[in-house]
Each structure stands twice: as C-alpha cells, then as structure tokens.
Structure 1
Amino acid sequence: MRPATPLRIAILGAASSGKSTLAAALAEHYQTLWVPEYLREFVDVQGRVPRSEDQFHIASTQRAREELAAARASKYLFCDTTPLMTAIYSRHYFGAVDAPLAALAASHQQDYDLTLVTAADIPWVADGLMRECETVSVTINRMLLDELAARAIPYILVSGEPGERLSQVERHL
C-alpha cells in the first residue's frame, strides 16, 4: 500500500548540471514519477527567455504540477527544480525577487523531505534558447549554496557520472 503522500525529493542545481537526467533515472529506478522543469516547456512554447513578470507564473506552474503528480506518485516524487531555484534565477537576472515568488518559495520549501544539489562536475552543454552559460552556472551554483545555508536547508551534494549519482542518492533513500 502506498503512502497517502509520497516523499518529495527536490533536485536543485545550475543549468546543465544533470538535474533532469538524475530525476528521470531516480523515477525509473523507484518506479514512480518525476516532475520535469516547467521552465524548459515555457521557453519552448513561448519561443523566448522568461522576463521578470513571468517568474511567479513559472514557479507556481512548477508547484501545481508537483501537486498533480504527488497524487499519482508512489513512495517518492522527484522534483526537477523548485520555486526556490526560480527565485534564485530571478535575483540573478532581474536583481530582485517579487513578493509573490518569494512567498511561494518560502512557504513550500519545507514540503521537501530531501534536497539534492547536482554538482557542476559534468560537461556543460548549451540548452537551446536558455540564456545561461558556463560562467553564469558557476554563479548560480554559488547563489544556490548560499541560499540553502541562509535558510538552514540541509542538502546532499551528488556528483560524478549518472550511475554514481544514482548510487549516492540510493544510499540516502
């Protein structure tokens, strides 16, 4: 019998750090669901990078998709990013996080049972229309680690090739 609420696993990291690969591998391994990063779909559908006014929509859509998936997931739900990452990107690109996004990121962070951070130790690959580059990824990674420390959010840093990352997470689950 599956639990009423699956354990939510947040997978955070800069662009091209293997979040989606890890989320998909974990979902397959544990025969459950993962929630892809909505930002990718947003960029593909809109044909442009997001603007400041898009940030809350992106984060709230991500969160809504988590809620839908949680009702169907078994034991674990792997979340490829969270509203916290959207807030970090908003601060980096737009110099601020608007109040609704800040509230969304703060109010739901405690919903994650485990936070994983993907190390930037795999080759960086450009991601279509996304504007990030390897240099920005280093900055975003530092901002993420600083934010996790400031919020006292414990996390597990996963590194290495995909198989190694999967094994590291298995040991913690």
Structure 2
Amino acid sequence: MLRVVLTGSECTGKSTLAAKLAEHYKAEAVPEYLREYFALKNGNLTIDDVLPIARGQLRLEAEAAAKGSSPLICDTDIISSIVYASHYFGEYPQWLDDKFKTLAPSLYLLCDIDIPWQDDGQRDMPEEREYMQNLFIEEFKKRGIPLQIISGSLERRFIKSSRIIDAEINAMIHRATKK
C-alpha cells in the first residue's frame, strides 16, 4: 500500500488537497487528529499531549488502512509532531523517533506556503510560516527523506501531486511484477 503524507507548515492547503486526492483515488483521506484533540483540550497543549496526538494520528491511519484505503492519503504524520513539539517545547518524546522507524516508507508531499493564510481559530503563527516551513524541510533533510514540494493553486497542486502519486503507484506495480 502506498502511504502519501501531505506535510508542511500551518495553513498550506494540506486538508483541502488531501480531500481532493482522496476523491480522485476513491480512497479515504486520513484527517489531522490534532484538530480534534486541540478542540478537546480547548487549545491548551503541553509536552504531555504530544504522544496522545501522535498515537491518535496513527490510530486514524490504521483504521483507514484496515478499510483497504489505497493509496492512503494522510493529512499529516509523526514528522509534524516532531517538528511542532521541538518548536513549542524544545523537545519531543523519543517514542516518536522509535515509532517513526517502524513505519513503512512514505511518499512525502510538502505543501508550499504560497497560498493565503486563513485563520480558523487553531492556527497561531501567520508571521512564522516560512520559519516553520524551513523546520519541516530541515527535518526531512536531517533524516534523508525525499520530499516533493507542491506549489501553486489547488488545481496545480492536485495535478502535480497526482502525477507524482501515479508514478509511484506504477513503480510499485513494476517492482511487484518483477518479483
């Protein structure tokens, strides 16, 4: 199964693109669990919330995978927990690294910051989007994980993303038939 993760700073169109890709591939979009958790905690998060958020995200992914959703389109993943915990708390639980190492390789699409900011009551850093985006890029570089940057309008993002996903699906099929 191909796991596609949309990642990047706040307000970069991840959820919108995830929904459009999921519709196109007739797959389920795995939502960002943080949104639900944030509301439950009235926006008051501490370092102690990092693990429940990451575990909640993984649970949503597992539920979608169990339904046979393929490709699995994820609005975010553990990398976001690592980046944001490092930013807000200066650290993150080792469990995140340990768990990340057990996950299957993923196709990471970094949504660019070239779209307008939209305040939804949960986002808090419009002036730090570029800084946060660079934290994501540096985290991927540090881990040696390939990253595709997705820019432009929703339609341009969709076209580029679907081409990348289609190429990866075709490569997976090709590898499977060679075995």
TM-score, structure 1 normalization: 0.90
- Equivalent pairs: percent with the same residue? 35
Structure 2: segments with no counterpart, 5+ residues: 167-179
Count the aligned residue pairs: 165
Q: Does 1:94 align with 2:89?
A: yes
Q: State the secondary structure of the residue aligned to 2:121.
A: coil
User: 2:116 maps to which residue?
Assistant: 123
Q: Does 1:145 align with 2:140?
A: no
Q: State the secondary structure of the residue aligned to 1:11.
A: strand
How far apart in 1 are the matches of 2:5 and 2:111?
11
TM-score, structure 2 normalization: 0.87
User: 1:45 maps to which residue?
Assistant: 40
User: 1:3 maps to which residue?
Assistant: none
Q: Look up the equivalent residue of 2:125 and give its one-letter code.
A: C
User: 1:113 maps to which residue?
Assistant: 106
CA root-mean-square deviation:
1.4
Q: Does 1:61 align with 2:47?
A: no
How far apart in 2 are the matches of 1:137 and 1:38?
21
Q: Look up the equivalent residue of 1:72 and give its one-letter code.
A: K
Q: 2:77 aligns with which of 72, 78, 82?
A: 82
Q: CA deviation at 1:48?
A: 1.8
Q: Look up the equivalent residue of 1:113 and give its one-letter code.
A: S
Q: Does 1:134 align with 2:126?
A: yes
Q: State the secondary structure of the residue aligned to 1:128.
A: coil
Instruction: Tell me which protein shows more helix as a share of its residues.
Output: 2
Cα deviation code 1:56-75 (max 9, x no counterpart)? 11011101110110111343
Q: Look up the equivalent residue of 1:66 and give its one-letter code.
A: E
Q: Does 1:168 align with 2:160?
A: yes
User: 1:24 maps to which residue?
Assistant: 19
Q: Look up the equivalent residue of 2:87 and give its one-letter code.
A: H
User: Higher mean Cα deviation, 69-78 or 23-32?
Assistant: 69-78
Q: State the secondary structure of the residue aligned to 1:49.
A: coil
> Does structure 2 conserve the Cα–Cα contact (< 8 Å) formed by 1:42 and 1:58?
yes
Q: Pick the structure with greater CA Rg.
A: 2
Q: CA deviation at 1:105?
A: 3.2
